[in-house]
Structure 1
Amino acid sequence: MIQKLAGLRTFFIIWLGQVVSTVGSSLTGFVLGVWVYQETGSATQFALIAACATLPSIVLAPLAGALVDRHDRRMVMIVADFGAALSTVALALLWSAGALQVWHIWAATAFAATCNAFQNPAYSASLTLLVPKEQLGRANGLVQTGQSLGIISPVIAAGLVAAVGVGGVMAIDLATFAFAVIALAFVRIPRPEVSAAGAAARGSLRREAGYGWTYLRERPGLMWLTTLFAFFNFFIGMVSVLVQPLILSFSSVGALGWLMFAGGSGMLAGSLAMGAWGGPKRRIRGMLGFVVLAGLVLAAHGLTPSPWLIAVVAPAFLFTIPIVGATFTVILQTRTPPDVQGRVFSTVRMLSLITLPLSYFLAGPLADGVFEPAMAPGGALAGTVGALIGTGEGRGIALMFMISGLVLAATAVLAYGSAQIRGLEEEPVAGAAESAEPVASGEMVATA
């Protein structure tokens, strides 16, 4: 009991440090993103920031996972946070010298994302060593809450820029990095015991880097569930690109701001609910059930051009995202031995994120070249689907929302029909998370 309480205390200390750091990074990211758009007027150059923030996690995932499992996870997180802070230092110096250029922001974003490619799997893989199995759902809900707090960044950043300027915002960001590193410096994370899977995966760095893929391939249920999660992310990416054009097709810019805030509040509410509830006891059924719900409310976005409808369905859709994500993470944590979780989580992250650039690439051309013309007055679908949901500007995007949501819900229903996926609920895994007690005597990491 004492060990479990100590583990929970350590988790809360690390979590608080990461939450503060996440909010600080979101402040800088928002401010610099606005600066890029104001300087260039180019949506493409603005979008390249998102690409720079995503691609390193995809490319480096196998290597990051192997190194996380080889080394002390606490030190990996400290080095990653320190490295990300260096990118902010570089930007702050360039800004103060009046020499900041757009490509500097791309490079700094890519470098920070490289650090995050190591930090994220180390953080996730540490939870099973600190938190009792029955509390993993709540712990992952709290992690999602910390990430969702980024929705408050635009509001805070706008006030801070007026008060302390862009340089002041970056200085605050650096202070939050320091807070996260100090929090990590005074905690312990136990080393995991070597499992049969971990022993079998030992070898060269190249061999270990590929083990996450091997682990998933040998467990078809986990592989199919990861594929479903990647599919879920694909539609999240699609709607994140199209939701603003959809709303602006029938509403004002002012209403857009409020509706985006309402949607973000739904995500925060879902994270808080997961943290308090802990998630469904039947995790496979619960995750798939929330994916079905997400699909249905996503489809409802297109029913009619009404801001009141969006005010209801957008928060409802975003409410499901942290519950699906946290539940999926708990499934992985309880189906994977702790000493190989870095590799498995990194591989899952790579497979999940790779669908996002694809969705960003497809969303615009499909909307502009296919669905919007088809739903214009006199278009190919004006007399059929158009008779039900209307024609004109934005109705093609509305149809994309409806199709995406129905396909997503149907996919989750089909997934539940898979015995391999349903069987994950009862499948025993030797060495997977059962408690937060140190599993190898004498393997505790000394505090700094």
Structure 2
Amino acid sequence: MFRNFRENIKELQTFLILWGTQSFSSLGSSMTSLALVIWAYEQKGSALTTALLTICSYGPYVLFSIFAGSFIDRHNKKIIMLASDSFAALCTIFVLILLSTGKLEIWHLYIINTLNGLMNTLQQPAADVAVSLLTPKKHYQRVSGLRSLSNSLVTVVAPVLSTALLSFAGLQWVIVFDLITFFSAFTVLLFFVKIPQVKSDRDYHRETMLQSVNAGLTYLKKERGILDLILFLAVINFTASMYNAALAPMLLSRAGGGKLELGMVNMAAGLATLAGSILVTLLPAPKSRIRVILNCLLFSMSTENFILAFGKTTPVWCLGSVLGWILIPVMGANMDVLLRSKIPVTMQGRVYSARNTLQFFTIPLGYLIGGILIDKVFEPLMAKQVAGSFLLSIFGSGKGSGAALFFFVIGITGALSCLPFRFDRHLWKIEETSS
């Protein structure tokens, strides 16, 4: 047993180095993102204001990801990651300078998030392909579990550290910590991580950009099950992004809520995903990954939103967060294994880039619609309710009650959206040809 453990560590050594340092950098980035959301909401008190931060990040990511695949498949993945991360660090430094001089405004963050989103169109698919290049196929599920584990740890630790630093030291020190994590990860990637270069199984180096885009889309059209799985996740992302648009405004506004409570709910989500990540790392491969994906998402959509809608205390909100997130790592790991096993590594850059556009285009839409509906529809609706009305008795009164009502609506939407895909025959056919 110990011998097998040592052999596994040796086979995954380079991946583990990259994984650990990139996770550390992700911690700093997550802390800054959360701190800036709190800062932006305190400036304007608007759900749409904070939602626009994410919209600006995902807008260019969705629009241009589909064109990045050819570039990623043809060029050095390590250089792409280094360049993209360096650009993000420069943007963070710019925010720090503006903040230190008292000139930071929300519109600065919109521009910076847009630029970061543009660079992420290269960084994220390049990192995904790098993981495939560094990982033997037999370790795909274990590696997916480890990546989910690190994301979970970040989700647990980031709210605690971010709110603590924000409260006791200020936003500047949150950003400084982010920069420290970046330089650590950058140095390790530059000097200690060698990502293999892969030779293509066909000559595509003369492809035009449009031909490359067509290659990725043609592959998905041919592999209809993978396409339908991606579209299913796009539907889920729409509901999840509306959830994210509503969470901070509700918890920062409601009686009994605040920065600490928001941090506790986010930490509960992180602990839940941590438990789910450990579980999926230890579990053997399931008989049907598709069934696992469908069941996990149905459970998540059918629990958390309703508990957040009806709950009025932090323990209840935390319970909803745990139920909503505990099976997400299990879903993510199984989807990751399906994609890595099915898509040839020489095509992954182009296919993942097309996937990013198709799967994530609903996220900015969800944030935008969620922010508008909360500010313009649900909060005004609850403000007009007279004392003793049914809605006030169920969802409470005051600012944040509209967001609670909105959680009830998206809970119904999310649960119903899972059902049609259970009868999609193309999804079930994926496993017939996946190894």
TM tier, smaller: 0.7 to 0.9
1:136/1:278 contact within 8 Å kept: no
Which residue of structure 1 lines up, in the alignment, with residue 343 of structure 2? 336
In structure 2, distance between residues paired with 1:44 and 1:147: 26
The AA in structure 2 aligned to 1:277 is L
Q: What corresponds to 2:268 in structure 1?
A: 262
Per-residue deviation, residues 351-391 of structure 1 (Å, max 9, x unmatched): 121111222233355566489969x989xx97xxx8xx957
Aligned residues: CA RMSD = 3.5
Map of 1:104 onto structure 2:
108
Higher alpha-carbon deviation: 263-272 or 221-230:
263-272
TM-score after normalising by structure 1: 0.81
Q: 1:171 aligns to what?
A: 176
For 1:79 and 1:319, locate their aligned partners in 2 and report how far apart those are by CA, in whole Å: 34
TM-score, normalising length from structure 2? Answer: 0.83
**Aligned-partner residue type, residue 182 of structure 1:** T
> For 1:128-147, what aligned pairs fall within 5 Å after superposition?
128-147=132-151
Structure 1 segments (4+ residues) deviating >6 Å: 1-4, 245-250
Q: Is contact 1:138-1:279 (8 Å) kept?
A: no
Q: 1:211 offset after TM fit, Å?
A: 2.4
1:215 CA displacement:
1.4
Structure 2 CA distance for partners of 1:30 and 1:168, relative to 1, 3 Å: same
In 2, distance between residues paired with 1:32 and 1:248? 14
Q: Please say if residues 302 and 412 of structure 2, whose CA atoms lie closer than 8 Å, have aligned partners that are also in contact.
A: no
* Distance in 2 of aligned mates of 1:171 and 1:247: 27
* Aligned match for 2:212, one of 208, 215, 218: 208
In structure 2, relative to structure 1, the CA distance for the partners of 1:6 and 1:168 (3 Å cut) is: same
For 2:432, which of 407, 426, 434 is the aligned residue?
A: 426
Q: Which residue is equivalent to 2:189?
A: 184
Residue from 44, 52, 59 that aligns with 1:55 = 59
Deviation at 1:348, TM superposition (A): 1.1
Q: In structure 2, what is the Cα distance between the partners aligned to 1:67 and 1:236?
A: 30
Whether the aligned pair in 1 keeps the contact of 2:309 and 2:406 (CA below 8 Å) is: no
Give 3-state SS (helix, strand or coil) of 1:207's partner: helix
Select which of 252, 256, 264 maps to 1:252: 256
Q: Once the 2 structures are TM-superposed, how far is the Cα of residue 78 of structure 1 from its aligned partner?
A: 1.3
**Alpha-carbon distance between aligned partners in 2 of 1:136 and 1:159, rounded to the nearest angstrom:** 36
Structure 1 residue 296 corresponds to structure 2 residue 302: yes
Show the counterpart of 2:409: 400
Is the contact between residue 371 and residue 399 of structure 1 (CA under 8 Å) also seen in structure 2?
no
Out of 137, 142, 157, the residue aligned to residue 152 of structure 1 is 157
Give the counterpart letter for 1:410 in structure 2.
L
- Distance in structure 1 (CA, Å) of the matches to 2:208 and 2:319: 52
Cα distance in 2 for partners of 1:217, 1:177 equals 38
Give identity over the alignment, percent.
28
1:410, 1:330 → 2: CA distance? 23
Cα pair distance change 1:134/1:306, threshold 3 Å? farther
Tell me what 1:439 maps to.
none
Cα 1:251–1:425, aligned 2, differ >3 Å: closer, same or farther?
farther
Matched with 1:359 is 366
Shift, 1:123, TM fit? 1.0
Does the CA contact (< 8 Å) of 1:4 and 1:130 recur in 2? no
Q: Deviations over 1:145-202 (max 9, x none)?
A: 333314422321233346654434333222211111222122222223423xx54796
Q: Which letter does structure 1 place at the counterpart of 2:197? A: R
The 1-side partners of 2:91 and 2:25 are apart by 14
| Cα distance, 1:293 vs structure 2 | 1.9
Which amino acid letter does the alignment assign opposite residue 60 of structure 2? P
8 Å CA contact 1:127, 1:136 repeated in 2: no
* Count of equivalent residues: 418
Amino acid at match of 1:316: L
Cα separation, 2, equivalents of 1:29 and 1:370? 26
Larger mean Cα displacement after TM superposition, 205-214 or 73-82: 205-214
Shift of 1:23: 0.9
Correspondence for 2:280: 274
SS at match of 1:190: coil
Which residue in the other structure is 1:319 paired with? Answer: 326
The alpha carbon displacement at 1:300 in A equals 4.6
Contact 2:155–2:267 (CA<8 Å) still a contact in 1? no
2:39 is the alignment partner of 1:32: no
| Kept in 2: contact 1:267–1:319 (CA 8 A) | yes
